[in-house]
Structure 1
Amino acid sequence: MRNNKPEWYEQAGKEPFKRNHFHGNLATGVKNRIGTEKQPRSRTRWYLGGSAAAVMGTMIVISSFFSDSGSDHSPVPVPSNSPAANAIIENPSERIRMVDKKNGWAFGTSVKHTNDGGKTWADRTPKGYDHLRFEPFLFNEQLAWFVVRPADKETAQTTNWMIYRTTDGGNSWIPATLPTKDTWTVQGVNTAFNLYFIDEKTGFFSFVSDPAGGPVKTAFYQTTDGGETWKYVNKIAPDGVLASTPSGMSFSDRLHGFITFYNSRDYQPEIYGTTSGGASWNRIVFDLPKEIKDAVFFAEHPPVFFGNTKKEGVLSISYMTKNNEKAGVAWFTTENGGATWSPTTRPESQPTINTKGGSAPLGFRACAALDLRHFWMIDAESGTLYGTSDGGGRWQALYTSPQLRNAAQLKFIDEKTGWVRGDRFLLQTEDGGKSWNEL
């Protein structure tokens, strides 16, 4: 098979299932929540994702307020005399995200770039940043951004939040200072972030403080010049309303966006939407399947939007019934950019994980959507990949392997070609998921 790799969809929520204790917290939350009285919103502490470290893969601390983000920083080059700059790295073990079949990136504690479908990898780590944990957003083979947090200041030599961008495939990186606004950002509060761009110029950045540090606080920023300058917009929610860290953020256009959270409140997933580019946010209440009784619903992934207009989109909402008896996924679609969402099919047509009251099921570890008809998801209990080609009307077990139990990311670029990434492995299929080769 060809050694091609995918255009990974960039979600701000980073690998929610990478930490095993996620599901333990989920099971405890379900047992405690089902059948209990409603708790005051500002005091809710039932959240599914554990700490922000488990959700985002890194804990981050925010810097002090700056009135202007500025753009007078010089590009940071990749040192040509460094052995790492000219090194060809085979099979990088960090997160791999391809923008097409030839061009892609690998991010982790370094930055690597490929232009031959992943056969070879060249180091593109900026000078002085070779020990950071990079959290990127990738737009194409030339354009990408990553965030440097003040917690890395001993390595990165900065006391400010910085967002770096490259326009030449990682040969040089241009820094910009993020104008953090609130005093809580400099008080050592652990904070999760999301970064998302809808085009080469317009991007969004959100902060959400760690629930373990007290009432959750938020902040939202926007750029209209490709990340050269950033402007504070508003809070996502009043202080103390949210009770968990975000699982991701996505936008269908410059005005309409969504932030999903691991928490479930009143059995509903906690999802906030904006129709004003982040100037105001409101919680979205979904018409959940009534056939699923005594279950809590939570959003582990933000919506995915398709095509040039981004009007069509898919959202997967996970659920677990009381006593950990059953876990599954409810799929929703939109044809108007997320203004309204409709359930795809009746729940009985979709695969579920049953434990008969045993230990908490791991759930469906990774989900992917190509369009309004083609969805895939991986059962983390059995390592089985399921697929549908009619919007969820019928599901087929396509492939089973113990390796898929550790899947962290699933992506298809057409009906036949897809990839699964896990801890130190990358698999490829060219027959819609029926067989896989390791790259």
Structure 2
Amino acid sequence: MFRIMTHYLKAYKWQVLALMVFQIAQALLALYLPNLNADIINKGVASGSSSEIYRYGAIMLGFSLLQVAAAIVATYFSSRLAMRLGYEVRRDYFKAVEGFSLQEVERFSAGSLITRATNDVLQVQMMFYQGFAVILQAPIMFLGGIILAIKQDATLTWLLVVIIPVIFIVAMLLMGRMRPLFGQLQDRLDNLNRIVREQITGVRVIRAFTREATEAERFERGNSQLRQTMVGVGRLMSLMMPLMMFIMNLSNISIMWFGGKRIDAGGMEIGSLQAFIQYLMMILMSLMMAAMMSVMIPRAMVSAKRINEVCDTTSSITAPEHPYHPTDPKGVVEFRHVSFRYPGAEEPVLDDVNFTLEPGKTLAIIGSTGSGKSTIIRLAQRMFDATEGQILVDGHDVREYDPHELAALFGTVPQKALLFTGTVASNLKFG
């Protein structure tokens, strides 16, 4: 994940720096506001001085406006950079997939490639968008809140020693339960996407062989698995917020209880207690933000790993160092003892295939669905490499050709009406 961010944000370092500056400024201004609120109560309300109330109120209003302005600018840079990150990751991802042979597409599956380009990129995007605010603000508000709370009243800070470890332990327990579920969630999303895609593209075959009930059961099974995983994640995430709020409210009651006793004894001012409570809320909110990020980070890391797997994969169909360049192509295609097995398949789809197709001749390959008719065409065009044997075009092995030059020698008419390039007229005039 950090590899993706450092690679794509390198060109926007000044905008990242501006984002950091405004996020830090926003956190520091937020930390100073409770102190001004305490001064209003202690020096204005308690003494009945309207001038002090107006003076500190004006200062507090000014700092609040500055905080709002810093937050707006930080949000602008954060959203802009996040959208740019998503755009560039998708661009390079699409470029990598465009260079794949059918072997790599079969390895990842089309459904998984679609999920990685959409949902996985979105997870990384959201991690960056929200992560900068937490990574920069949470430590400042946590440490600053503790220091300023001690400044208000050092005696009450013993409560923080009890409260902070409780929140930390709760967050770690929930995060430990959720982390393995995120990898499972993405895999099951891939599976459901693949099932739906296969059913849409093969709807005619499904109807022809009356497989509607089987496909409905297959979809239901994949959908139920995804639902179970999402429900498990949702339950844990929905449990986190009530637990955190319960701890925060319990902490607030404890501070008021012990702080009230100190005020009654004359050891603390009312404004200081109010400021202490606000700093406590800031400390707990920073911990809650960190806890929420601890939920997002594992999922984003899983998504980033899946994106990098695709981007780091190179096509198995590459041009040789010194390719053969046909000067006068004849169009003779020959298969010599060719066998082919799809990755992960138990049985080969083609076994010891031999034939020679000369110019002007016609070869009809007849067989049932899945018997390997389309595979022969794909092997001749080198969309796959044969597992065994040799495929020759004009007496030269297809591995000797540049893949682009080899593809230019073939004119394929698929079963479905697809237009890859040019116009209808130019395609009708082809050859």
User: For the superposition of Structure 1 and Structure 2, which TM-score range results when normalised by the shorter chain?
Assistant: under 0.3
TM-score (norm. length: structure 2): 0.20
Q: Which has more strand, going by share of residues?
A: 1
Using CA pairs below 8 Å that are at least 6 residues apart, which structure has the higher relative contact order? 2
Q: Which has more helix, going by share of residues?
A: 2
TM-score (norm. length: structure 1): 0.20
Structure (1 or 2) with the larger CA radius of gyration: 2
